[in-house]
Chain A
């Protein structure tokens, strides 16, 4: 369930013929586009938003409590000392700062894994959209077929293969499978077909530009909005990955944040383990902050991606 949504990324500004002014207010004129606002509907939506936000509010509130307070105060309101800063510094320093290590591991997996996945998807999508070659249909059939294969059917054999290759318990075991995003490829394919005019490539070739130079200097700038969309969704996928590192990584030094948090949580239920619920909660909060921030800051990209085009079904 972690594939990016099936949307064609935004069409490049350069190929968008509508003037900016008419883009801003094209809907005001028509009555069908400007119905009466409804209070009832807004209240119902408010309930849905409440459902979506309440657990996050719970997390923020409880990250400010000490472990003792956590156990004996009402969950949805602040209580006792405001211990957020103390909790954060405890989270970061607990067990010789292992949380920071997990954070850096996650960053490594995301930068190399999601970055690499996006790079391969962009290259492949561009190749599929703009070149005709033998085996193109076979490539398409294989990749689409693979999307339907559940990732878990692959997990056990991949683990066995990697352990024969001596890759388990190393960062590679997490990074290599993250490099493939069939939906990223599909998205870039559709996007490149629309956003990069073939005439422009022909013109560059006539001017004597090599294929790689044409790709980097002519096509890549046009593909930027699509790249951001793919990058954002592969990032979420890698950042949130749990199953893959769970089977591949045994050494806590190579854990990503998700495995680390789960290990802290389980600590309470193991014999002789010291419960650190306040650290689990604060750590969980610190884990989601970067992604939530990325989504809020990059809103323009993924929402304009939705505005420009969508599922053709």
Chain B
């Protein structure tokens, strides 16, 4: 990320007493944010770490168990199957979504569209729809009872595969997530494209480069930063997948297990299973896995840039 930018843009006030005074004033402005931040970010992370070293049992109470919880997580088939599922989701859904978003952004930026602002706002609109509403809506549409799939089956006398069956439900969730976030990612790409200096295209055009060549050689390299950031957001989003499967559960109870995604699994563990120490451990492991992958994406993205 562009970590250094804001630091270097702030101008240093003059040294001496005024600097000390100004320093205290700086904390006055940043302090409120940091206080709440400590309460809702730092404290839970530390507490989670603490919890992961203990076990709470009906008989015997709380006892220190060292790394037992972590060992259990590494041997837990349900956890691994959940992690595998979101990894598949990540590998398929994220490239599709980001690819489409990039194509839309390039089309909007090309200036070759009729009714550009209409397209921009309509593709973005689903972002304003809560995940709950999006999932209920698509869930109904998928439904064979009064959904579109059922309608098509009746009208054409065919029997389309049930999108909510166990083999297809992950793809159906992928479609919902894609629908929700295409516009958001398009916005990131589009706003990055807007600030690419036009002189770069002109030079390429004068040299006789075609549109696709310009896209591949000029536009995409110019917005690499935005591509990396959008990918990191999507990695984090995929690993956290929860809302869509959790809400679809009531429409497709057989297809979505209690350990469908890691998040759903920790939720089940802590609120139905009352295994909060183990749930905290699984969350921590997931947090670390997510950070490693996000970091790898960032490194890879930056290396290409060099």
Contacts and interface: CB of A to CB of B under 8 A. Distances in A.
Interface of A: 1, 3, 5-7, 27, 30, 32-39, 41-42, 44-46, 48-49, 51-53, 55-56, 58-59, 62, 70-72, 74-76, 120-121, 123-124, 126-137, 139-140, 142-144, 146, 148-161, 176-177, 179-180, 182, 185-186, 189-190, 193-194, 198, 211, 215, 236, 239-240, 242-243, 246-247, 257-259, 261-262, 265-266, 268-269, 277, 280-281, 284, 287-288, 291-292, 294-296, 299, 303, 305-307, 309-313
A211 B28 contact: yes
Given A121-B33, A148-B236, A153-B287, A5 B187 contact: yes
A158 B7 CA distance: 31
B191 A311 contact: yes
Contacts of B2: 311-313
Contacts, number: 361
Tell which of A5, A144, A295 has the most Cβ of chain B within 10 Å.
Answer: A5
Interface stretch (B57-65, B75-83, B164-172, B226-234): B226-234
B93 to A, nearest CB: 12
Chain B interface size band reads 35 or more
Given A75-B151, A211-B25, A38 B9 contact: no
Contact of B276 (A36, A76, A160): A160
B112 A132 contact: no
B226 A6 contact: yes
Given A38-B112, A131-B26, A295-B125, A198 B11 contact: yes
CB-CB nearest 10 A-B residue pairs: A313-B225, A127-B29, A131-B26, A1-B237, A153-B287, A133-B26, A124-B33, A240-B130, A133-B23, A306-B191
Identify whether the interface residues of A are mostly helix, strand, loop, or mixed: helix
Interface string B248-267: 00110100000000010011
A5 B33 contact: no
B213 interface: no
A292 B22 contact: no
Interface string B175-219: 000010111100110111011001001100100000000000000
A129 B10 contact: yes
B136 A280 contact: yes
Nearest to B232: A148
A33 B240 contact: no
